[in-house]
Amino acid sequence: MTVKKGIISADLLLSVGLALAFGGALLQATRWPHQASLFPIVVGSSGLVLAVVEIGNHLRNRNKPEMLQGDQIEPAAGLWRQDFGTFAWIVGILAATFLAGFQWGLPAVIMLYYRFQSKQKLFLVVILTGLCWGVVYAWTALLHLTLYPGLLARLVPWE
Partner 1 sequence: METLQASWQGLSVLFTWPVFGLMLVGTAIGLGFGLLPGLGGGITAMALVLPFVWGADPFFAVAILAAILGSTGTSGNFSATLFNVPGSPSNAATILDAYPLARQGQAGRALGAAFTSSAMGGILGALVLALTIPIVRPLVLLFASPERFMLVLMAVFAIGALAGSKPLRGLLAGAVGLLLSLIGMDPQSGVPRYTFDQSNLVYGMALLPLIMGLFALPEVIDLALRGRIASEDNPVSSNQGGVVRGILDSFVHWRTVLRGTVIGIIGGIMPAVGGTGSAFWAYAYEAQACKKDGKFGKGDIRGVIAPETANNAVTPGDLIPTVAFGIPGSAMAAVMMAGLIMVGITPGPAMLKEHLPLTFFVAWTIAASNLIGTAACLLLTNPLSRVSRVPAGTIVPFVIMFVFLGSYLEQTQMSDVVLALLIGALGYVMMRQSWPRSPLLVGFILGALAERYFFTSYEAWGLEFILRPVTLILAIILVASLIYPFLRRPSKSPLPGDAE
Residues that bind partner 1 (CB under 8 A): 10-11, 14-15, 18, 21-22, 25, 28-29, 32-33, 35-36, 39-40, 43-44, 46-47, 50-51, 53-54, 57, 67, 69-73, 82-83, 86-87, 89-91, 93-94, 97-98, 102, 106, 110, 113-114, 117-120, 128, 131-132, 135-136, 139, 142-143, 145-148
Q: How far apart are CA 110 and CA 93, in angstroms?
A: 7
Q: Give the nearest distance from C-beta 71 to partner 1 in angstroms.
A: 6
Q: Give the nearest distance from C-beta 139 to partner 1 in angstroms.
A: 6
Range 61-81 burial, b when 16+ CB lie within 10 A, else e? eeeeeeeeeeeeeeeeeeeee
Q: Give the nearest distance from C-beta 132 to partner 1 in angstroms.
A: 6
